[in-house]
């Protein structure tokens, strides 16, 4: 078993010392585990011996790895305990990829095989796009609680989040997930950002909350993996808002404001306010995150 001299992980835990050498050993083992399982959620990207107090990717990776065998990952690795023992198994282990995540519910409405992720770096696991156990207002997942306000911030009603938010930095390049044709551009999508629509062979993607810098014009052919835009500035949190539609016959009328807002948020009654062929992008993003542009 790999030898660490103190605890590694969550900096608010008083037992955690995060000695440089220990952190480096853990990061190196996490990288091996990510490579040998094919699970990018375990990959801290940098093995630099450093864990910063806030938003540490290494801590997210520790928790993701602990999810393999712990019900409630605590993000702390203690010497001679289970997590370091399990991680050490990857020191010299042969390559055995994790099984792909189970696909829940009916078969996916459109074939998304062979496509790539729309960003070069997927968001870290703690900002993941899958719905957590409980609905929450700031969720980034498909179907999360959203509301519309008037000019004075008064809530007019509730709706469902029609896409998945991939949190990243302002200006981050956005890449086409597949070949396609540039569709209509939405100039005022949200808080002064735009939205790029691309008609791909099996589905339409609306890449939302972009800057207004135009890389292509409507009707231009697009190749898979080409940069088509960049993440815009909606305010505090910047993201690619990613929507998918299954009907490729038209890329117009994706937003449908004739669907009424509801007075309260309801899983059953609240509407997406989108065209009826809107689909959940999460299983596709799961599939594509191991194929980066
Ligand atoms: Zn969004």
Summarize pLDDT for 123-132 with one digit per residue, the tens.
877 677 887 6
How far apart are the CA of 237 and the centre of ligand 1, in A?
A: 11
pTM above 0.95, yes or no: no
> Phi, psi (5° rounding) for residue 207?
-90, 100
Residue 252 CB contacts under 8 Å (≥ 6 apart), including other chains: 184
Sorting pLDDT into bands at 50, 70 and 90, what band is 17?
very high
How far apart are the CA of 14 and the centre of ligand 1, in A?
A: 37
| pLDDT value of position 151 | 76
How far apart are the CA of 171 and the centre of ligand 1, in A?
A: 17
Query: What's domain 125-288's architecture?
Result: Distorted Sandwich (2.70)
Sorting pLDDT into bands at 50, 70 and 90, what band is 117?
very high
Higher pLDDT, 128 or 23: 23
How far apart are the CA of 112 and the centre of ligand 1, in A?
A: 21
How far apart are the CA of 184 and the centre of ligand 1, in A?
A: 19
Percentage, residues of the chain above pLDDT 90: 67
- 130-154: burial string, b at 16+ Cβ within 10 Å, e else: ebeeeeeeebbbbbbbbeeeeeeee
Task: Work out the angle at residue 166's Cα, subtended by the Cα atoms of residues 143 and 38, and round it to the nearest 5 degrees.
Answer: 105
How far apart are the CA of 119 and the centre of ligand 1, in A?
A: 15
- Domain range annotation of the chain: 8-88, 125-288
How far apart are the CA of 163 and the centre of ligand 1, in A?
A: 6
DSSP at 122:
P
User: Half-sphere exposure of 230 toward its Cβ, with a 13 Å CA cutoff?
Assistant: 11
Residue 98 predicted with pLDDT over 90: no
How far apart are the CA of 180 and the centre of ligand 1, in A?
A: 23
How far apart are the CA of 206 and the centre of ligand 1, in A?
A: 11
| pLDDT value of position 136 | 60
Hey, which residues does 231 pair with through a beta bridge? Answer: 210
Residue 265, both tokens = 């948020």
CA distance linking residue 244 with residue 153, whole number of Å: 29
CB atoms within 10 A of CB 168: 21
How far apart are the CA of 281 and the centre of ligand 1, in A?
A: 12
| pLDDT value of position 92 | 78
How far apart are the CA of 54 and the centre of ligand 1, in A?
A: 24
Summarize pLDDT for 38-51 with one digit per residue, the tens.
888 999 888 888 88
How far apart are the CA of 181 and the centre of ligand 1, in A?
A: 23
How far apart are the CA of 81 and the centre of ligand 1, in A?
A: 40
Sorting pLDDT into bands at 50, 70 and 90, what band is 237?
confident
Residue 8 CB contacts under 8 Å (≥ 6 apart), including other chains: 16, 17, 18, 19, 22, 23, 26, 51, 62, 76, 77
Q: Could you give the residue ranges of the DSSP H alpha helices within the chain? A: 20-37, 57-66, 82-88, 282-288
Residue 53 predicted with pLDDT over 90: no
Sorting pLDDT into bands at 50, 70 and 90, what band is 138?
low
Instruction: With beta carbons less than 8 A apart as the criterion, state whether 243 and 206 touch.
Output: yes
| pLDDT value of position 97 | 55
CA distance linking residue 73 with residue 172, whole number of Å: 31
Nearest to 47 by CA among 22, 70, 71: 22
């Amino acid at each position: 078993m790999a030898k660490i001299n103190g605890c590694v992980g969550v900096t608010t835990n008083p037992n955690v010392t995060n000695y440089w050498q220990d952190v480096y050993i853990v990061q190196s083992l996490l990288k091996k585990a990510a490579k040998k399982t094919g699970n990018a959620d375990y990959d801290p990207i940098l093995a630099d011996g450093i864990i910063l107090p806030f938003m540490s990717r290494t801590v997210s990776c520790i928790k993701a790895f602990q999810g393999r065998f712990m019900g409630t990952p605590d993000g702390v690795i203690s010497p001679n305990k289970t997590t370091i023992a399990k991680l050490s198994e990857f020191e010299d282990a042969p390559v055995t990829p994790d099984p792909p995540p189970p696909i829940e519910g009916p078969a996916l409405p459109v074939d998304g095989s062979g496509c790539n992720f729309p960003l070069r770096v997927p968001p870290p696991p703690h900002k993941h796009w899958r719905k957590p156990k409980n609905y929450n207002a700031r969720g980034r997942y498909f179907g999360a609680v959203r509301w519309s306000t008037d000019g004075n911030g008064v809530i007019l009603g509730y709706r469902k989040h029609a896409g998945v938010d991939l949190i990243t930095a302002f200006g981050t390049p956005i890449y086409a997930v597949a070949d396609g044709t540039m569709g209509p551009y939405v100039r005022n999508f949200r808080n002064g950002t735009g939205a790029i629509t691309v008609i791909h062979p099996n589905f339409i993607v609306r890449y939302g909350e972009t800057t207004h810098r135009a890389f292509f014009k409507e009707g231009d052919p697009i190749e898979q993996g080409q940069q088509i835009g960049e993440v815009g500035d909606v305010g505090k949190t910047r993201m690619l808002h990613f929507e998918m539609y299954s009907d490729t016959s038209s890329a117009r009328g994706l937003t449908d404001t004739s669907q009424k807002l509801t007075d309260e948020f309801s899983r059953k009654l609240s509407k997406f306010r989108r065209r009826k062929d809107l689909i959940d992008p999460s299983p596709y993003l799961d599939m594509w995150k191991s194929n980066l542009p």
